A and B are shown apart, each in its own frame.
Chain A
Amino acid sequence: MESINYQNFRIDAENICVDYNGKVALYDANLRLKPGQICGLVGMNGAGKTTFFNALTGFVNISKGKIRINGESVRSAQKDQTIAYVPQNEGIDSQFPINVWDIVMMGRYGSMNIFRCPRESDIQAVKDAIERVDLTDHLSTPIGNLSGGQRKRTFLARAIAQRASILLLDEPFSGVDIRTEKLISELFIQFKNEGKTILLSTHDMIHVREFCDLVLLINKTVVAYGETSEVFTPENITTTFGGISPDFLFGPES
């Protein structure tokens, strides 16, 4: 499974289109990712980044095209717990009456029985995941009392507990402290070594250069896709961001 067979893509999205009641959010988008690859998803607000994620998780239906996850349908990927989604901090109700332990346990729901009674193995998975994101001291802290970085790490732990082979991360670096950023970058290296595939959206160009093997530039459709060193050029970025110069995006230094 882990050996890199050229035919065997973790994510294989072919010409996918998504529209909401006739309004096109994404069209003719392609993406192929292999095990162990980290890909950055870059685009403006409303360029279709979240829509792309939603299509891959099956949260929205695609109107055209084909998505294969490990060679199978999105439906069976859901059943197999293949994909984990780590939401933006803004996408979560931070006043919900729930603590760190219970959120991470939600990563195990998909593989539990109908009553969602945790087994010994689930409890161990949750413990391990929380340890990996360094939140063992906050097991029963309610989500409302966590910092932005701690909240991010909680949802990362949920993805780890789920034992997914594909991680979709929506703005993993926005609103986090230095410590969390460092921890996330260490986790990325571990995930890569474990053969997990990561697709992350970000506004931060520096993070793309630092972490991503591949980059997918989108503006309703794919503007450019390939190795970061080749594709992540000022020209492509300018096109993606609708003509704003890279100087403005990177700062005058670069």
Chain B
Amino acid sequence: MEFSSFLTLDSFITDPLTHDFMRKALLMSSLVAAVCGFLSSYLTLKGWALMGDAVSHSVMPGVVVAYALGLPFSLGAFIFGVGSVALIGFIKQKSRVKEDTVIGLVFTGFFALGIVLVSKIKSNIDLHSILFGSPLGISLSDVKQTIIISLLVVILLSIFRKDLMLYCFDPRHAKTVGINVFFLHYLLLTCLSLAAVVGLQSVGIILVVAMLITPGATAYLLTDKFDNMTIISVLSAIISSLIGIYISFWFDLETGGSIVLAQTFIFLFAFLFAPRYGIFKLKKFFAGYK
């Protein structure tokens, strides 16, 4: 019945825009993607992919508790996100267990707690939308929260953009010239928790880590300049979100999964064809024909 819509690219793009929920989903997901993409270049350079996974899973019980108490879910998520990092640091310091093991056991513990709480607290919490995201069903209060948190993260990252880059590149030099490395460490963790909170609305808790690492990894293959890396990362994240939402609309697919899959395909494309760092080094290929 919708077959005729496929006839033109124009209607492929404009038809969904006639729906209010689609306009909202496209706007919100782009905003979330931009925030996660911005942060992504720092996380990939710092080697914090696993940390991103840990924080994003650990926010689960916080979301459930916040819903049950009628608090903004971002508050609960933030407390548990930062709490998990503190706990990871504490256990690592006080035991002989290796860091990646500690990260793995803490975040799965938190995540399991979240699932158990959902089954116990019989409320109107939609487990499916927490786990897999529901950008098409985002409420007005969620929209407000997302905008506020996103702006906060973007402002923080913009102010400390260069310090954070230095912190990722050479923390020892940062410390030597009197820059507060401790502050930068927790700033990055705070932004990570906040980005996970907004990201889970788009793609859900399970996949939010993709929003936090894939765009950065893609950009890393495409440039040797940090500023360009950030721009490419943000753009690829936004484009993936738009593609994912459109595809999910027309083909009736899970939205969060479609967004992440779009990111993965863009990464694979860069992996194969990046001019300098791709498998088929296109720059060399074309240089041969000059």
Contact = CB atoms under 8 A, between A and B. Distances in A.
Classify the interface of chain B: helix, strand, loop or mixed.
Answer: helix
Given A97-B220, A109-B163, A85 B176 contact: yes
A158 B176 CA distance: 12
Interface in A14-59: 21, 54, 57-59
Given A21-B93, A109-B163, A116-B162, A93 B169 contact: yes
Instruction: Give the one of A54, A75, A83, A96 with max B CB within 10 A.
Output: A96
Contacts of A98: 165, 169, 224-226
Interface in B221-243: 223-226, 228-229
Contact of A59 (B93, B172, B225): B172
A78 B159 contact: no
Interface in A47-99: 54, 57-59, 75, 78-81, 83-85, 87, 91-93, 96-99
B166 A79 contact: no
A109 B45 contact: no
Contacts of B283: none
B177 interface: yes
Contact of A92 (B162, B170, B179): B170
- Number of chain A interface residues as a range: 20 to 34
B175 interface: yes
B178 interface: yes
B173 interface: yes
Instruction: Give the one of A98, A110, A158 with max B CB within 10 A.
Output: A98
Contacts of B165: 98
B224 A109 contact: no
Contacts of A115: 159, 162
Contacts of B166: 106, 109
B173 A106 contact: yes
Contacts, number: 77
Interface in B212-268: 220, 223-226, 228-229
Contact of A97 (B163, B177, B179, B229): B229
B242 to A, nearest CB: 26
Contacts of A181: none
Contacts of B229: 97
B172 A162 contact: no
- Number of chain B interface residues as a range: 20 to 34
Contacts of A206: none
Given A116-B163, A144-B224, A109 B177 contact: yes
Contacts of A110: 177-179
Interface string B166-206: 10111011111111000000000000000000000000000
A84 B175 CA distance: 10
Contacts of B179: 109-110
A151 to B, nearest CB: 12
A58 B176 contact: yes
A87 B177 contact: no
Given A109-B163, A109-B166, A115-B159, A97 B223 contact: yes
A237 to B, nearest CB: 29
A102 interface: yes
A195 interface: no
Interface of B: 45, 93, 159, 162-163, 165-166, 168-170, 172-179, 220, 223-226, 228-229
19 contacts: A54-B172, A57-B172, A78-B178, A85-B172, A85-B176, A91-B172, A93-B169, A97-B220, A97-B224, A97-B229, A98-B225, A98-B226, A106-B169, A107-B177, A109-B177, A110-B177, A114-B159, A116-B162, A145-B224
Interface of A: 21, 54, 57-59, 75, 78-81, 83-85, 87, 91-93, 96-99, 102, 106-107, 109-110, 114-116, 142, 144-145, 158, 162
Given A58-B176, A81-B177, A158-B173, 5 more contacts: A57-B172, A78-B178, A96-B168, A109-B179, A110-B177
